[in-house]
């Protein structure tokens, strides 16, 4: 009989097909497991697959008394209470770096689209306004990338790939993270200093209690009226109410977001701005990235059921 694995978050079927070939999958579609399965069925579940941002604290673990491993599909594990898991002897694994190129590419897409006003430009053509020579203040010349100051907050696998891409656009790169890394970019000792320096703030930091809403009204004021924010990390890093206020009163120039505090529910107010580009958390959503993340999940599950340490335990990637 194949090993049982509970699929805790909601995943499209295509993303779990490979696991279904090997394991006996219990699908919750993102609903609390007790709504779909009996206590008896849940009593011997030893392994779950979850998205890293799905909440997995003490009360969620209580429902799964035999739980011994939490495998996150993707890089993030911000929804998992690591201390609680450690206390219970639950091993937590993720997919480090597997989606880094794909996420870095969305960061660049958002930066380019926002700073060059791609959405208004496409609309200017499609609406016929260009053909009719209708004046458009949104179509005025903007600053380009040569010499642009791009600040990267977080220098993990994704931050490094963003930095390499930004440098190719002839922009200046600086970064801030908890510690200095061996990378050829200038280190700023504080987030506040990075924000004051940069024109585009790229958020690539790992989410957690210490970064919760760290991009607040004061940080946005420091970024200034020519400044842009791009976030491909987690929505919790930005105080969304302050972001909406900063866009409303033009404290900043624009924003590109792939992630939101409450997904899939971005603030309605955000969707009304022309200087905003919004994507539905698709950073890691490429064929290669899914294949790589699925490879990590499979390796973690195989190791677990073979009684070995996880192939990709959380934290091992620094």
Q: Which residues are catalytic?
A: 234, 263, 281
Q: 120, 274 in Cβ contact below 8 A?
A: yes
Q: 74, 52 in Cβ contact below 8 A?
A: yes
Q: Which of 26, 63, 130, 269 binds a copy of itself (CB under 8 A)?
A: 130
Q: Which of 144, 225, 315, 318 binds a copy of itself (CB under 8 A)?
A: 144
Q: 131, 153 in Cβ contact below 8 A?
A: no
Q: Does 113 participate in binding a copy of itself (rule CB under 8 A)?
A: yes
User: What phi, psi does 269 have (nearest 5°)?
Assistant: -60, -35
Q: Does 141 participate in binding a copy of itself (rule CB under 8 A)?
A: yes
Q: Does 145 participate in binding a copy of itself (rule CB under 8 A)?
A: yes
Q: Which of 182, 210, 249, 287 binds a copy of itself (CB under 8 A)?
A: 287
Q: 97, 157 in Cβ contact below 8 A?
A: yes
C-alpha neighbours within 13 Å on the C-beta side of residue 45: 29
Q: Which is nearer to a copy of itself, 63 or 279 (CB)?
A: 279
Q: How far is CA 62 from CA 56, 65, 73, 183, in A?
A: 10, 6, 21, 43
Q: How far is CA 141 from CA 125, 137, 251, in A?
A: 16, 9, 20
Q: Does 112 participate in binding a copy of itself (rule CB under 8 A)?
A: yes
CA distance 252 to 270: 14
Q: Which is nearer to a copy of itself, 38 or 140 (CB)?
A: 140
Q: Which is nearer to a copy of itself, 193 or 282 (CB)?
A: 282
Least Å distance, CB 188 to a copy of itself, is 22
Positions 248 through 277 that interact with a copy of itself (CB under 8 A):
264-266, 271, 277
Q: Does 318 participate in binding a copy of itself (rule CB under 8 A)?
A: no
Q: Does 105 participate in binding a copy of itself (rule CB under 8 A)?
A: yes
Q: Does 169 participate in binding a copy of itself (rule CB under 8 A)?
A: yes
Q: 276: helix, coil or strand?
A: strand
Find the distance separating the first CA and the last CA of the chain, reported in whole Å.
37
Q: Residues interacting with a copy of itself, by CB under 8 A?
A: 14, 101-102, 105-106, 108-109, 112-113, 116, 118-119, 121-122, 124-126, 130-131, 133, 139-147, 164-165, 167-170, 264-266, 271, 277-280, 282, 285-290
């Amino acid at each position: 009989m194949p090993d049982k694995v509970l699929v805790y978050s909601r995943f499209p079927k295509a993303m779990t097909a490979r696991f279904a070939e090997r394991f006996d999958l219990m699908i919750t579609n993102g609903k609390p497991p007790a709504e779909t399965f009996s206590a008896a069925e849940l009593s011997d579940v030893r392994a779950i697959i979850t998205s890293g941002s799905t909440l997995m604290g003490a009360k969620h673990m209580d429902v799964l008394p035999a739980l011994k491993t939490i495998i996150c599909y993707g890089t993030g594990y911000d929804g998992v209470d690591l201390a609680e898991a450690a206390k219970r002897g639950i091993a937590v694994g993720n997919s480090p770096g597997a989606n880094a190129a794909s996420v870095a590419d969305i960061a660049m897409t958002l930066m380019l689209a926002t700073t060059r006003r791609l959405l208004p430009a496409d609309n200017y053509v499609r609406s016929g306004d260009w053909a009719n020579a209708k004046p458009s203040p949104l179509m005025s010349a903007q600053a380009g990338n040569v010499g642009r100051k791009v600040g990267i907050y977080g220098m993990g696998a994704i931050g490094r790939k963003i930095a390499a891409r930004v440098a190719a656009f002839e922009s200046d790169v600086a970064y801030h993270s908890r510690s200095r890394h061996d990378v050829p970019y200038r280190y700023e000792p504080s987030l506040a200093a990075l924000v004051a320096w940069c024109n585009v703030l790229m958020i690539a930091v790992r989410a957690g209690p210490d970064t919760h809403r760290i991009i607040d009204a004061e940080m946005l004021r420091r970024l200034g009226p020519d400044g842009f924010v791009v976030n491909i990390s987690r929505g919790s890093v930005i105080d969304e109410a302050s972001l909406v206020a900063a866009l409303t009163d033009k404290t900043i120039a624009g924003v590109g977001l792939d992630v939101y505090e409450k997904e899939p529910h971005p603030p309605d107010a955000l969707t009304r701005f022309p200087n905003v580009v919004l994507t539905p958390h698709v950073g890691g959503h490429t064929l290669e990235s899914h294949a790589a993340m699925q490879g990590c999940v499979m390796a973690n599950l195989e190791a677990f059921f073979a009684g070995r340490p996880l192939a990709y335990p959380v934290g091992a990637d620094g």
